[in-house]
């Protein structure tokens, strides 16, 4: 089977690495001449709004998927023609607008922080009264990695937040005083069965995922997360891999965001689980049975951002697995990640600490 992928970044690259052993062929559409996924498939260098190019991609493939979310859903559906698109474009559309995303959580019975849509400074002021401070204000569309967000801790912050973000549809929500951030990643097959990975605990820095650790929950919290995920994917008539980010606050899970695709907080599944989120996504969209989500010990993942550490240092850490995306270094850019697997959480954290020290001393040059 030939799989067309809208987007050819590191997620596409890891999809390809998971799919080539299954005998799948890949075509990636991505405007960047340096698309990381080009190493593992054909690369169509075209813009994401180039409908003719997407139609060409779809026409040459048996199934279409995406690893980049900011595409126009109506155009995607039209360009796909008769080629099936998974995850379903409706789920992508839902995730593209923070309002429909919150409504989907609520409709699935998943608690969320109080929120309001905001289209004027007056509405922002009203939201701060209705919901209460502190708030976080976000653009409803096109936000990622903390971009398009401002905090409103006091009324005095409102003018600056409005000035920074106003003019596009916004959403204000109560800033959650959470204990920790977790995500649950699952993959739903053609038969509707949901394969679910253990909860992952995530630490962000400057709005970008910094580390993930899994498994990260006791049985009750895991079951709660799986129930939430199941309710959401059934509502979305979902097929493929999906990630839902939650805040853990007082033993409750509050839905924050969901990503209708493979997700950075699931990269640890490549070495830390029997079957990775990438392979399970491909199995799901190709109509194959899901692989086992069971873990192989305790996994930790460190994103490599802005600069790559020397490969020989990273690979000297026991059971460390380097993923270099082959991208040019740039401040704030995700260039790679390292996963460690260990028999105990303490050993995992020790290795992750060693890797963090190496990454902090990262060179500006590519290592290999």
Comparing CA positions, the residue from 204, 194, 260, 189 lying closest to residue 228 is 194
**CB-CB contact of 85 with 227 (8 Å):** no
- Number of residues binding to its own copies, judged by CB under 8 A: 42
Least distance in Å: CB of 306 to its own copies?
16
Q: What count of residues does the chain have? A: 368
Distance of CA 320 to the CA centre of its chain: 22
**CB-CB contact of 38 with 28 (8 Å):** yes
Interface residue with its own copies among 25, 69, 145, 226 (CB under 8 A) is 25
In sequence order, the 6+-apart residues with CB closer than 8 A to the CB of 187 are 194, 195, 240, 241, 242, 277, 280, 281, 283, 284, 290
- Tell me the Cα Rg of the chain: 20
Using rule CB under 8 A, residue 23 touches its own copies: yes
Distance between CA atoms of 240 and 189, rounded to whole angstroms?
Answer: 6
Interface residue with its own copies among 164, 193, 274, 357 (CB under 8 A) is 274
Distance between CA atoms of 12 and 26, rounded to whole angstroms?
Answer: 9
Using rule CB under 8 A, residue 160 touches its own copies: no
Q: Which stretch binds its own copies (CB under 8 A): 143-151, 162-170, 212-220, 323-331?
A: 323-331
User: Nearer Cβ to its own copies, position 47 or 316?
Assistant: 316
Using rule CB under 8 A, residue 367 touches its own copies: yes
Least distance in Å: CB of 336 to its own copies?
7
User: Nearer Cβ to its own copies, position 243 or 314?
Assistant: 314
Distance between CA atoms of 124 and 119, rounded to whole angstroms?
Answer: 8
Least distance in Å: CB of 97 to its own copies?
34
Comparing CA positions, the residue from 365, 94, 129 lying closest to residue 255 is 94
Q: Which stretch binds its own copies (CB under 8 A): 44-52, 88-96, 179-187, 289-297?
A: 289-297
Using rule CB under 8 A, residue 4 touches its own copies: no
Contacts made by residues 148-153, CB under 8 angstroms, sequence distance 24+:
149/207, 151/175, 152/124, 152/128
Q: Which stretch binds its own copies (CB under 8 A): 23-31, 51-59, 132-140, 245-253?
A: 23-31
The interface mask with its own copies, positions 333-362, x = CB under 8 A, is ---x----x---------------------
Q: Is 83 helix (H, G, I), strand (E, B) or coil?
A: coil
Using rule CB under 8 A, residue 21 touches its own copies: yes
Interface residue with its own copies among 47, 223, 318, 357 (CB under 8 A) is 318
Binding site for its own copies (CB under 8 A): 1, 13, 17, 20-25, 39-41, 271, 274-275, 283, 286-289, 291-292, 294, 296, 308, 311-312, 315-316, 318-319, 321-326, 336, 341, 366-368
């Amino acid at each position: 089977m030939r799989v067309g992928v809208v987007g050819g970044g590191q997620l596409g690259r890891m999809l390809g690495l998971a799919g080539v052993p299954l005998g799948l062929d890949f075509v990636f559409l991505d405007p960047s001449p340096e698309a990381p996924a080009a190493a593992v498939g054909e690369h169509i260098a075209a813009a994401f709004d180039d409908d003719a190019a997407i139609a060409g991609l779809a026409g040459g493939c048996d199934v279409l998927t995406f690893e980049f979310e900011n595409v126009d859903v109506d155009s995607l559906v039209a360009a796909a023609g008769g080629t099936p698109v998974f995850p379903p474009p409706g789920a992508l559309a839902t995730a593209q607008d923070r309002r429909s995303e919150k409504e989907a959580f609520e409709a699935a019975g998943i608690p969320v922080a109080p929120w309001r849509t905001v289209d004027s400074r007056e509405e922002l002021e009203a939201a701060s009264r209705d919901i209460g401070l502190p708030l976080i204000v976000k653009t409803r569309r096109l936000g990622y990695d903390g971009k398009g967000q401002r905090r409103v801790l006091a009324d005095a912050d409102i003018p600056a937040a409005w000035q920074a973000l106003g003019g596009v549809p916004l959403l204000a929500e109560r800033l959650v005083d959470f204990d920790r951030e977790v995500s649950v990643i699952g993959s739903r097959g053609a038969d509707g069965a949901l394969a679910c990975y253990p909860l992952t605990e995530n630490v962000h820095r400057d709005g970008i995922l910094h580390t993930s650790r899994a498994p990260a929950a006791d049985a009750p919290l895991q079951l709660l997360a799986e129930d939430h995920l199941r309710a959401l994917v059934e509502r979305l008539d979902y097929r493929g891999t999906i990630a839902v980010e939650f805040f853990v606050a007082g033993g409750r899970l509050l839905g924050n965001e969901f990503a209708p695709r493979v997700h950075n907080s699931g990269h640890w599944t490549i070495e830390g689980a029997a079957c990775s989120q990438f392979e399970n996504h491909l199995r799901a969209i190709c109509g194959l049975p899901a692989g086992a989500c069971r873990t192989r010990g305790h996994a930790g993942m460190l994103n490599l951002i802005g600069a790559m550490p020397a490969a020989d240092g990273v690979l000297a850490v026991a059971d460390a697995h380097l993923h270099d995306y082959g991208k040019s270094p740039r401040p704030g850019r995700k260039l790679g990640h390292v996963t460690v697997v260990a028999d105990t959480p303490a050993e995992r954290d020790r290795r992750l600490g060693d890797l963090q020290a190496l990454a902090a001393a990262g060179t500006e040059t590519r290592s290999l």
